[in-house]
Amino acid sequence: MDMAIRFPNLGVDLDYVGKSIHIFGFEITIYGILIAVGMFLGIGLIVLEAKRKGCDQDRYLDMLIISLIAAVVGARLFYVAFSWELYRGNPLEILNTRNGGTAFYGGLLGGVLGAAAFCRIKKLSFGQMADASSVGILLGQAIGRWGDFFSRESFGEYTDNLFAMQLPLSAVHASDVTSAMRDHLETIDGISYIQVQPAFLYESLWCLLVLVFLLFRRSRKRFEGEIFMNYLAGYGLGRFFIEGIRTDSLNWPGTRIAVSQVVSALLFVFFTIAVLIRRTMVKKREEIQKRRRESLYQAQEETPPEEEEWSVPLREPEEQDAPVEEETSQEQAAPAEEEISQEQAAPVEEETPKEQDIPEEEIPQEQEVLEDLPKNAE
């Protein structure tokens, strides 16, 4: 009977809610099953998102394998780092993950680092892959958080609201029970129940709301990585308030400040500002490019009409001048030919009469002069 879970204000009584099942003699926790189901459904949604974008789905699967391995390691190390007192005496217990002990933000950090390293090596866009992965991560969280319902974890302080949940005192860790819970113990059929807030339910519903928001927001993004930044900011906002009511949070050493609450606040503030700045920069860049296009268009429209008229008939004078040049050359060539014919004809007319007018009597006189020359020379 200590396996019962009740929601008194909703009138829901679950007499038996098991923590595990046995398959072929092996005990498998329902928490682990739901984590696995959420993981596979999340991967499926990521692959569908990659297909919608026209990206290589195999690349996304390769990235997810690396990212999941890094996420498991990161989730465990994050938990151990803030629960070192539990492992100081027996460090080998760190490797025993069957007893629980993981932190989501550690897994998120490890997964992001693994994905970033993969994208850098393969020279792929981390922002594009992170955007597609965000919706899958949220779906996995919404489903996986229900594992805390079966393991009786991730509950909040005492409450009497509509969603108040009652758990057997013997089914929870004594360190998670507060004085307010003990002051409001309720005994039913000899079993003491604490009444708490179902923090896991709040987080699951919040993840679904953020998922729906991102699905509508993805078509309006201005830059690669915007959806992932919205996811971190949106999830951080909800987790900040949910973490404030939980009683099983990891605290900073020596304080009662929840680690996840601080991380959530930083995520919300930092990435909200980052998205606003990036969107403003992108908007200004688009306005500058728009003004440049408009100025170029106006410059083309304001081109003077005279330049347009000269640009069309430039070739017509060349075609008209060609015959004029030919006629001119012919006219210039005509007198030249006449002058040449006159010059050539003139000496012919002069020489002919001279040769014809020479008297025959002068010829022997020139011969006599030539015969007398050698005599004078001697």
| β-strand partners of 195 | 166
The C-alpha atoms of residue 268 and residue 238 are separated, in whole angstroms, by 9
The C-alpha atoms of residue 115 and residue 60 are separated, in whole angstroms, by 10
The C-alpha atoms of residue 168 and residue 80 are separated, in whole angstroms, by 28
The C-alpha atoms of residue 74 and residue 80 are separated, in whole angstroms, by 10
The Cα diameter of the chain in Å comes to: 182
| Three-state secondary structure call for residue 168 | strand
Tokens coding 279 = 């969107």
| Residue bearing tokens 């539990």 | 86
The C-alpha atoms of residue 126 and residue 106 are separated, in whole angstroms, by 19
The C-alpha atoms of residue 265 and residue 233 are separated, in whole angstroms, by 9
145 labeled part of a ligand binding site: yes
| Three-state secondary structure call for residue 375 | helix
Tokens coding 324 = 């004029």
| Three-state secondary structure call for residue 103 | coil
Tokens coding 162 = 């509509």
Tokens coding 208 = 């679904």
Q: What is the side-by-side strand order in the sheet with 191-196?
A: 12-14, 5-7, 165-168, 191-196, 186-188
Give which of 233, 230, 239 is closest to 258, Cα–Cα.
239
| 12, containing H or E segment | strand 12-14
Binding site, annotated residues: 145
